[in-house]
Amino acid sequence: MRRVAFVDESGTKSFCNCVVVAGLVVEAAGSYMYWGAGLVDEIRRSLGIVGELKWRRVKRRGGRELVEALLRRFEARHFAVHYTSQRDFEAHLWRFLTDIDADIFVLDTGLADASKFPRAVNKPSHKVPGLQLADLVAGLISERYRGGGCRERPTRP
């Protein structure tokens, strides 16, 4: 078993937008590429979703409680930041990752260049169920920030 952190963001990385990054940390036996496949299938079936899980689709189908159950079941971390530049964003991401005890960090493609971070890899979310679950967590947490400002420190949900 090894600790795997699946990391995704919610929000558009453009100047002055609030971006929430969430990490779902799990104990995975076998390949991290397939961890969470059963959970993803269960959520799809219960909500009648075909294809990749995305927060907006799950929310629209009334799946908020399913995502809140993920937060109770697994370790989740997040941070929110006003996006000013990719360099600044990656500095926040670096601090976030160094605070998480994990053997490997699976970053969604487009989040940041994984080669800049130790023990990190980039993978597309449509191929990695754990990243789809991290997307749901990031979406839910991002909604909690709406209207309340964008806090710039790592916190637990």
Q: What is the pLDDT of residue 82?
A: 87
For every residue of the chain, DSSP letters joined together read -EEEEEEEEES--STT-EEEEEEEEEEESS-TTTTTHHHHHHHHHHHT--SS--HHHHHHTT-HHHHHHHHHHSEEEEEEEE---HHHHHHHHHHHHHTS--SEEEEETTT--GGGSTTEEEE-GGG-HHHHHHHHHHHHHHHHHTTT----S-B--
The answer regarding whether domain 2-147 maps to CATH 3.30.1360.30 reads: no
Q: What is the pLDDT of residue 35?
A: 97
> Quick one: average pLDDT of 87-110?
96
Bridge partners, residue 29, by sequence: none
CB atoms within 10 A of CB 122: 16
Q: What is the pLDDT of residue 53?
A: 95
pLDDT digits (tens, 9 = 90+) for 9-58: 997 766 668 899 999 999 999 999 999 999 999 999 999 999 999 999 99
Mean pLDDT of the chain: 91
Q: What is the pLDDT of residue 143?
A: 87
| Residue ranges covered by each domain of the chain | 2-147
Cβ atoms 9, 15 nearer than 8 A:
no
For residue 156, pLDDT over 90 is answered with no
> Quick one: average pLDDT of 131-150?
84
> Quick one: average pLDDT of 107-136?
96
Q: What is the pLDDT of residue 119?
A: 97
* pTM given for the model: 0.91
Q: What is the pLDDT of residue 61?
A: 96
> Quick one: average pLDDT of 55-78?
94
In the structure, what pLDDT confidence band is assigned to residue 149 with cuts at 50, 70 and 90? low
Rounded CA separation 68/73 (Å): 9
